[in-house]
Chains A and B, each alone.
Chain A
Amino acid sequence: MASVEVLATPPAAPPVAAAAPPLTLLKRLQRPRVCIALLLLMWLPLTASVMFGGYLGDAFKTWVLLPAIPATILLYVVAVASWRESPIAIIGVSLVFFWLIAAVTVPFLPLVDPNKPIAPFTGVGIEKNGHLFLLGADFKGRDMLSRVLWGCQRVLVWGVTATLVAYVVGSMLGLMAGYLAKWWDQVISFIANVLLSFPVMVLFILILNYLGASGFNIVIAVTFASAPAIMRIVRGLTLDTKTRDYIFAAQTRGEHPLRIMIYELLPNARGPIIVDACLRLGYTTVAITTLTFLGLGLQPPDPDWGLMIKEAAKVAMLWKFSYMLLIPALSVSSLILGFNLMADGLREMSLRD
């Protein structure tokens, strides 16, 4: 998601004429600062609502999302406008933003309570007990449509948060290993190699069994699993960039290593990092859904795609009830597909320039 900001500037613009034409509204929105503001306006309310809604009361949980709705829609417009060269990226962005818009608008949609049992085992498109089940009802009689839309909130928030934290940790370690080299590199690379040698699922189960199942612990588990790989990518990019003359110039200026790492090195590694982040968002979403399926993740009764798949697993053996499994499964796939297509599109665009 962070990608919107950096790629919003049109790639390789030819030198512009001295007198710049007056900015259109779209051009104004495409400016990096505006994009960051919009991202925060979308993300902070969503996070506050999902992570801390329980402590802050239902009214807060609902109304805090209000400013996020226009922000999300504007961001979608900006993203489509910036990436219109790549149809693949547009499809990806559309899929992702479908779920993002769903996540911020879901409290305001005319949906029934996702946890209220109405009519068990009602099929797709059937009206029962005075309610039309567009996507059917699950074995407890809860509305599937409502549950799928509500469920995307948790998957998105926890998935993106976990990836983000993994990225902050991984990039920092990668920068240190790459730039400071010497024993820093040896220690960090050794730990990373040890962590990488564990199968991911084993690592997840180990950490979550030890820490207990909760959203925040998922973030920790994902960080442990993803950070080593991220660290390696960033380390490689850093090793390449640090031989450049502008790094040498910063060194001869007496800049602090931390400043060189964050200000001079990190921005130049952003291209591959953004593409990798899009892919990794997909993995993380899968991982979170899997963990919930295994009972190690987010806890019932609130809806969550992994939870829905888990709950539906037994009844969905019957063909008639397979929709209970298919709907959450397709939702997960579409989101991951969205992330991956976005990554593909971005890579394609970066290759063209």
Chain B
Amino acid sequence: MTEPSPVLECRNLSISYYTRAGEVPAVVDFNLKLMPGEAHGIVGESGCGKSTVALAIMNYLGKNGAIVGGKILFEGADMRTMSEEQLRQIRGSKIAMVYQEPMASLNPSMRISEQLAEVPIYHEGIARAEALARSEALLEQVRIPDPKRIMNSYPHQISGGQQQRVVIAMALLSKPKLLLLDEPTTALDVTVEAGIVELIKEISQTFGTSLIYISHNLGLIVETCNRVTVMYSGEAVETGDIRSVFNDMRHPYTRGLFNSIPVPGADKNARPLVAIRGQLPLPYARPQGCYFGPRCDHFAAGICDKRPLPMHPVEPNSSHAVRCERFREIDWDAAKPKHIEREPVAPGHMVLHVDDLTKHYTIESRAALLVGSKKTVKANEKITFRAHEAETIAIVGESGCGKSTFAKVLMGLEDATGGKVQLGDLNLANLPVQQRDQGTISRLQMIFQNPFDTLNPSHTVGSQIARVIRKFGRERDAKKVEERVNELLDIVKLPRDFAKRRPRQLSGGQKQRVGIARAFAGDPKIVVADEPVSALDVSVQAAVTGLLMDIQRNNRTTLLFISHDLSVVRYLADRVVVMYLGQIMEKGATEEIFSPPYHPYTEALLSAVPIADTRVRKRKIVLQGEMPSPSNPPKGCPFSTRCLYMMKGVCDTIPPPQRTFAHRHVIACHLDEATLKAMEPVITVEDDAAPSHASSATAEAIPSAP
């Protein structure tokens, strides 16, 4: 056996969905060859057909989907000609799939042990005791602490990260040849995600399983895969091994995608992100010829608007192939994106002073008998920071860290338990929104996370913006209100006739733009942006962040940017506040946060964020366990339960002291200054002559094609 045969091969695969609008091609001419033990990434924006490919391999297309052409060969046999019975034998035993939402993959009414044991009992017919033993052993292999306890739990009793590990264990139990992972970590927090990614990387080595990893996150693909296929609007546009695709990308779309993600080196003033112009074509309104044509800078009539459009190998006999007719003609070095440099904005006077802000919730848990015991959830504990005019403050933390509660207190929907929020001369901490005057309310506005939730589906876009203008008394006259709505739509770069549309006719990015227009309709001084781009596709993300920055620049607005994504934060924040379990762990200017000394939690966060650059080297810091419940926080330092530097007897009993380093760079940690200062940078960039630390390295780490 000289040449190992591929585990899975897709040949010219085409998949269509049948809807009321007729046949909609979801995937066109898709090719893939997966060798044993190989990990293949499929990356693309929403609607590009990456999940459809996985569903087709599993034969789960449903009633209205069908494979209309091509072949799927599994170990050499065509899956399309197999009978139902043969397919059932393959599914679960030779091919397994892990989905995005772990809770939806587990049966809530069965114990973990039952669900796991079912797999080998059904597929291999082994005895129950043996199956249980094997399940428990596998749980240990996927690094679940205390597998005995987990085996006897129901899915809702364990955390999201553990659930996903159980699902992966379940998929591995039958020793599959092929494992499909469809965005397995999207629903998880970054530090938990990092653990799962570590696990996935080991799978192919330990079990010899081939992987297909589907994700929208280029960074995750770099970390987990050997090869990658980039998809756009149902087509593979570029494929090859990770290094050649990421370093010598030869398709304008891949290039555009990389220019719109904030890798170290992007900077909102010197090197702003470049978004891909235009919009993803709808599946039933794709352009003639190259689907990317209308958005491409290198579009040439007569070449790019014709079909067929085959994949061309970049070099003869290389596996790096690209679906572009002009890739040889384009001068990839000259065609670097044009960054529009901007002057940095100088922050103005102080507008917001948060001082020892504390918010506790009391939960009455009724015990079995009459008397209920009261529990206190410390959602925010002594939050202190200042915000200046035209400054961007990022509040970073994972779910449950209290950032949303903080936003609620600030907006006046909750009363603070203690401390002050000083806006000018006014203390907002105990001033609910009903008691605030019109001027105060209009100075504080918010942008929301979920684009599908931010607009009321029953009202037109224009009327929702107009309501804000009228409510805050900016304009009263109907004509002038309409004018102002049009102006705002211009500012967020939407056509004016969108005012008459309803939210359901808009895409996610467009809705988010309307949300921004609405927030800025009352000329606010401070805008709280709660993860405004995390639900958007990367290319849209770049456009929306760019827009937000521009408006901020023009209005000199203070932006409180709540996010879990450190890449975006590094790109656009001036100052960063890192929160964990309701407390501030570290705060300081952005470059101070991203270079040593770090708080151990910041260090872990930095290491966890996937970066889509093959030159970036990261120190691996994988946290153990999960975030403790805010109703039962650890006694001393909140991070002590997961901290790698934990000092017994100190960290878990005494609250950490605040150590000030540079001007206004504060770390709350028991480690002494020397230890903190001696920390090595987490992110380093290869090919960088001087072993410099992260912040200065960023300037050189430009994702350019050599």
Q: A245-B448, A249-B446 are in contact. Are A254 and B471 (CB under 8 A)?
A: yes
Q: Is A129 an interface residue (CB 8 A)?
A: no
Which of B412, B441, B453, B458 is close to A245, meaning CB atoms less than 8 Å apart? B453
The interface residues of chain A lying within 8 Å CB-to-CB of B464 are 246
Q: Is A268 an interface residue (CB 8 A)?
A: yes
Q: Which of B444, B445, B467, B472 has the most CB of A within 10 A?
A: B467
Closest 7 CB pairs of A and B: A267-B458, A245-B448, A245-B453, A246-B456, A252-B411, A254-B441, A245-B454
B454–A254 CB distance below 8 A:
no
B453–A15 CB distance below 8 A:
no
- State how many angstroms separate the Cβ of B574 from the closest Cβ of chain A: 24
List 30 A-B pairs, Cβ < 8 Å.
A12-B504, A14-B282, A15-B505, A18-B495, A244-B453, A245-B448, A245-B449, A245-B453, A246-B453, A246-B454, A246-B456, A246-B464, A248-B413, A248-B448, A249-B446, A249-B454, A251-B411, A252-B412, A252-B444, A252-B445, A252-B446, A253-B467, A253-B468, A253-B471, A253-B472, A254-B438, A254-B471, A264-B456, A267-B456, A270-B458
A268–B504 CB distance below 8 A:
no
The A-contacting residues of B in range 453-475, CB under 8 angstroms, are 453-459, 464, 467-468, 471-472
- A25-38 vs B, CB cutoff 8 Å, 1 = contact: the mask equals 00000000000000
A246 nearest in chain B by CB position: B456
Q: A245-B453, A249-B448, A268-B458 are in contact. Are A254 and B433 (CB under 8 A)?
A: yes
Q: Is B430 an interface residue (CB 8 A)?
A: no
A253 nearest in chain B by CB position: B471
Interface residue tally of chain B, by bracket? Answer: 20 to 34
Not counting A248-B413, A248-B446, A252-B433, a sample of 19 additional A-B residue pairs whose C-beta atoms are within 8 angstroms of each other reads: A15-B501, A18-B495, A18-B497, A245-B449, A245-B450, A245-B453, A245-B454, A246-B464, A248-B448, A249-B446, A251-B411, A251-B413, A251-B433, A253-B467, A255-B471, A267-B459, A268-B456, A270-B458, A352-B20
- A223-247 vs B, CB cutoff 8 Å, 1 = contact: the mask equals 0000000000000000000001110
- B4-24 vs A, CB cutoff 8 Å, 1 = contact: the mask equals 000000000000000010000
B410 nearest in chain A by CB position: A252
| A-B interface pairs (CB < 8 A), number | 59
The interface residues of chain A lying within 8 Å CB-to-CB of B497 are 18
- A248-288 vs B, CB cutoff 8 Å, 1 = contact: the mask equals 11011111000000001001101000000000000000000
- State how many angstroms separate the Cβ of B525 from the closest Cβ of chain A: 14
Q: Is B250 an interface residue (CB 8 A)?
A: no
- State how many angstroms separate the Cβ of B697 from the closest Cβ of chain A: 38
- State how many angstroms separate the Cβ of A32 from the closest Cβ of chain B: 11
- State how many angstroms separate the Cβ of B435 from the closest Cβ of chain A: 9
* In the bound complex, CA of A293 to CA of B412 (Å): 58
A251 nearest in chain B by CB position: B413
A244 nearest in chain B by CB position: B453
Q: Is B320 an interface residue (CB 8 A)?
A: no
A254–B446 CB distance below 8 A:
no
* In the bound complex, CA of A12 to CA of B464 (Å): 20
The interface residues of chain A lying within 8 Å CB-to-CB of B441 are 252-254
* In the bound complex, CA of A84 to CA of B467 (Å): 35
B505 nearest in chain A by CB position: A15
Q: Is B206 an interface residue (CB 8 A)?
A: no
B505–A246 CB distance below 8 A:
no
* In the bound complex, CA of A253 to CA of B436 (Å): 10
Interface residue tally of chain A, by bracket? Answer: 20 to 34
The interface residues of chain A lying within 8 Å CB-to-CB of B471 are 253-255
Q: Is A351 an interface residue (CB 8 A)?
A: no
The interface residues of chain B lying within 8 Å CB-to-CB of A245 are 448-450, 453-454
The interface residues of chain A lying within 8 Å CB-to-CB of B504 are 12
Q: Is A13 an interface residue (CB 8 A)?
A: yes
- State how many angstroms separate the Cβ of B154 from the closest Cβ of chain A: 25
* In the bound complex, CA of A248 to CA of B453 (Å): 10
The interface residues of chain B lying within 8 Å CB-to-CB of A270 are 458
- B400-412 vs A, CB cutoff 8 Å, 1 = contact: the mask equals 0000000000011
- B263-307 vs A, CB cutoff 8 Å, 1 = contact: the mask equals 000000000000000000010000000000000000000000000
B506 nearest in chain A by CB position: A15
Q: Is B675 an interface residue (CB 8 A)?
A: no
Q: Is B575 an interface residue (CB 8 A)?
A: no
A352 nearest in chain B by CB position: B20
B504 nearest in chain A by CB position: A12
Q: Is B554 an interface residue (CB 8 A)?
A: no
* In the bound complex, CA of A268 to CA of B445 (Å): 24
* In the bound complex, CA of A16 to CA of B501 (Å): 9
* In the bound complex, CA of A251 to CA of B464 (Å): 14
The interface residues of chain A lying within 8 Å CB-to-CB of B434 are 254
